Structure 1
Amino acid sequence: MAAPRLSFSNVTALAPMVRVGTLPMRLLALDYGADVVYCEELIDLKMVQCQRVVNDVLQTVDFVAPDDRVMFRTCEREKDRVVFQMGTADPDRALAVARLVEKDVAAVDVNMGCPKEYSTKGGMGAALLSDPEKIEAILKKLVTGVSIPVTCKIRILPSLQETVSLVQRIEKTGVAAVAVHGRFKEERPRHPVHCDYIQAVARAVSIPVIANGGSLDLVKTNADVAEFRAACGASSVMLARAAMWNASVFSSRGPLPVETVMEDYLRYAIRYDNNAFNTKYCLCQMLRDKVESVLGKQVQAAQTNAEISEAYGLQAFYQQTQDELQARRDASQGGGQPERPVMDGDVTTMAVRFERREYPPQITPKMFLLEWSRKEKLEQPQYDTVQRSQDRSFQSTVTVAGRKYRSSLWEKSKKFAEQASAIVCLRTLGVPEGRIGEGESGLVCKRKREGRADGPAGADRRKRPHVASVLEETQSNGGPGAV
């Protein structure tokens, strides 16, 4: 049987928040009682280039960009309650993205309320509010083009009548609901939310209206949600900053200590291999005015999820999770048994994948193979890579000293496929490949192996913004809840 369509009536939702609404926060909100969770706004130009990849190790579905960044990660647990929010100004591109994700999410939403420049400069976000024809074109294209509900999120317009008229036009496109952030485009969280505007909209249309913008003054605990809903005359409520600060605001049993919430969040971040900088950002938002405390400084100084785990005393959980994930990797590569070379014509093959985490930041198998070839006075390794049409995966064959090597497994990118073929060659020849814990081989200089701060990775770290400065910049611009 097909799953029932997601309802937006009488729900409390986690709002879309840039840097915050990734998988760990969404799952945490569901644990605490949220009915619906929105991902952070993801730009159509980036998403349309992504490849859908089933991640057997993490048990997730990943949407991976050409540079191997995971743009969107989801899992079965949230499949019937997660809303994918996109930033778009183009109907055709919006439809392409919606079709890419529609089997893995419960609904798609178009951001029409974000006032930040990264959204508005492309005609997206709040810039759409001045172009109702384009709003209609995008929403109609989506409603008729996908099988899941379509919604949008707006800010209020300069006058009450303009706002009501726009939402009435939006309703006619066939959307399932509209979320209304009760502030004008130029207003920020410090300004009071205009409940009267949301109330007028709710009275003027028959689709569910989701009230948003009450975190500063009106919603501090779960008990306040019903009052905010009533004040706005809305069908549902969407929470941003109140949920970001303490996601247990969704719990009808009352708030939990923020320390407990942070640990629960971190466990999900570890379990789903969340980007460490994203993990730090979310934890610092929860710390709020304690971001410069001893714990806050430990979190800011950390560069990996392992180091963040130390700050919270979760080293044992981190290691246990890594062991479980490694066991899954081993199982997916042949039941945990060492891979053995198999001849496929004149090519030596093994069922191996390139796992970036298994190597130091500046070390790759290709680097080791090149250095070994130079040491043996052989010609430089030659890579021949092909792409499979049905799923756009890659497989590479490397030729060294007249012999060919490749992995029998297909990779998500050309770069990973080449690394996998290098691994097959190195393992067949019994040559070190640079994995963490392998020990010194002499093939690559010590400075590169250890990833010294004077190397590229060190330069990267020097350029990386301090979390406190990011927080300060975010707060001055209205914060994640301003979308």
Structure 2
Amino acid sequence: MGSLPFRLMAAEYGADITYGEEIIDHKFLKCERVTNESLGTTDFLERGTDNVVFRTCPKERDMVVFQMGTSDAVRALKAAQIVCNDVAAIDINMGCPKSFSISGGMGAALLSKPELIHDILTTLRRNLDTTVTCKIRLLNTRQDTVELARRIEKTGVPALAVHGRKVKDRPKDPAKWDEIADVVSALSIPVIANGDVFEYDDFKRIKDATEVPCGTPQFFVPKGKKPWEDVKREYVRKSILWENDLKSTKQTLKELIMHYSCLELPEGKGINKCDTGADLAKLYGEEDYYNFVVSNRN
């Protein structure tokens, strides 16, 4: 999941579907849809500001999934109606374990509320022409996970994503691919497996273990992954081209670095010191590209 530049890069590397970052329904209800003529994008701006909450473009219309955090069916529907005509699907995040999400009754808090899950999904499906899906985590027992998955399937959603960790698990804990496999065998709809896909070879391993695919941008390259330096520079160029939020761009770069190195090294420290897009372009040797894009934009 990620911002527009990250999603477009994933698509170029072979992804069939891409996910936006989770956006809370309360926040999205404060947004207005604006056509950005200079970029050729559709922007959802926080009303009365220039703050871009979600940005998309026609190029990804048939593959981008809008991921939403919610705890209320009516509110979720109102938020979905704002964006449903600009995306391929609406996905309800029912797996986020972060405190802000759980305290608001969203994310993993929904796992213990199957009636509310049913209400949210059926309300969206009955009132939208857009595809509706959701993502869950593993529950405490295999049987509980399978039973919840079956209840979700009965709402009529065409697919279900399963993250192979429980709420109490930390990112460093190994994903339980075998428990995802239990869900796959119990359902007739497609299951999207998620968790511990870091390299291209992991893509095949999780597919073999669960019989479903999953991945992140460079893992879709059939001939193997590109050098990290090429991936980062390409992401920086796309972030410049699409005027991606600087904070978002820096965070994504740091996450990429953590896959193979340490943020305490000069590159990581350099990212933290960047206050503008020009600073970031200079750090990655993309000054000429930055100046070209900015001059043509003006």
Matches within 5 A, 1:157-306: 157-215=139-197, 219-221=198-200, 223-234=201-212, 237-239=213-215, 243=216, 247-288=217-258, 289-306=261-278
Kindly name which structure, 1 or 2, has the bigger radius of gyration based on alpha carbons. 1
Structure 2: unaligned runs, 5 residues or longer: none
Q: Establish whether residue 52 from structure 1 lines up as the match of residue 28 from structure 2.
A: no
Shift of 1:323: 1.5
Per the alignment, residue 86 of structure 2 pairs with 104
Q: Is the 8 A contact 2:70 2:106 kept in 1?
A: yes
Contact 1:182 1:211 in 2 (8 A): yes
AA at the equivalent of 2:237: R
In the alignment, the residues of structure 2 paired with residue 184 and residue 153 of structure 1 have an alpha-carbon distance, to the nearest angstrom, of: 13
Q: CA deviation at 1:25?
A: 0.8
Q: Which has the higher helix share?
A: 2
Q: Is the 8 A contact 1:279 1:305 kept in 2?
A: no
Name the structure 2 match of 1:68: 50
Tell whether the 8 Å contact from 2:207 to 2:214 is kept in structure 1 after alignment.
no
Match of 2:7 among 17, 23, 26: 26
Q: Is the 8 A contact 1:198 1:233 kept in 2?
A: no
**Contact 1:88 / 1:125 at 8 angstroms: preserved in 2?**
yes
Query: CA separation in 2, counterparts of 1:210 and 1:50?
Result: 30
Match of 2:282 in 1: 310
Does the CA contact (< 8 Å) of 1:111 and 1:153 recur in 2? yes
**Distance (whole Å) between structure 2 residues aligned to residue 324 and residue 253 of structure 1:** 35
1:44-91 Cα shifts (integer Å, max 9, x gaps)? 000011100000011100001124311000011111000000000010
1:270 corresponds to which letter in structure 2?
A: I
Code of the residue aligned with 1:220 in structure 2: it is E
Q: Can you list the C-alpha shifts for 1:108-161, whole angstroms capped at 9, x where unaligned?
A: 000000000111111000000010000000000111111111100000111111
Q: Find out whether 1:324 has 2:293 as its counterpart.
A: no
Residue of structure 1 equivalent to 2:95: 113
Instruction: Give the deviation of 1:230 after TM superposition.
Output: 2.0
Q: What is the SS of the residue equivalent to 2:136?
A: strand
What is the Cα deviation at residue 206 of structure 1? Answer: 0.7
- Once the two structures are superposed, residues 447-481 of structure 1 have per-residue CA deviations (whole angstroms, 9 ceiling, x without a partner) of xxxxxxxxxxxxxxxxxxxxxxxxxxxxxxxxxxx
Aligned 1:2-13 pairs, distance under 5 A: none
SS at match of 2:135: strand
Contact 1:102 1:148 in 2 (8 A): yes
Distance 1:290 1:202 in 2: 36
**1:214 shift after superposition:** 2.5
Counterpart contact for 1:28–1:265, Cα < 8 Å: yes
Q: Which residues of 2 match residues 427-438 of structure 1 at below 5 A? A: none
SS at match of 2:35: strand
The equivalences for 1:352-431 within 5 A come to none
SS state at 1:183 partner: strand
Residue identity (%): 45
Q: How many residues align?
A: 295
Deviation at 1:293, TM superposition (A): 2.8
Instruction: Answer yes or no: is the 8 Å Cα contact 1:60–1:73 preserved in 2.
Output: yes
Given that 2:206 and 2:214 are in contact with CA atoms closer than 8 Å, whether structure 1 keeps it comes out as no
Instruction: State the secondary structure of the residue aligned to 2:86.
Output: coil
Instruction: Quote the offset at 1:290 in angstroms.
Output: 3.8
Provide structure 1 residue ranges, at least 5 long, that are not aligned to the other structure. 1-15, 327-483
Question: Would you say the 8 A contact 2:203–2:219 is kept in 1?
Answer: no
- C-alpha distance in 1 between matches for 2:282 and 2:183: 49
Q: Confirm or deny: 8 A CA contact 1:82 1:106 kept in the other structure.
A: yes
8 Å Cα contact 1:112-1:124 kept in structure 2: yes
CA shift, 1:295, in A, is: 2.9
- Alignment correspondent of 1:345: none
RMSD: 1.3
Whole-Å separation in 1 of the counterparts to 2:178 and 2:264: 39
Supply the AA of the counterpart residue of 1:318: Y
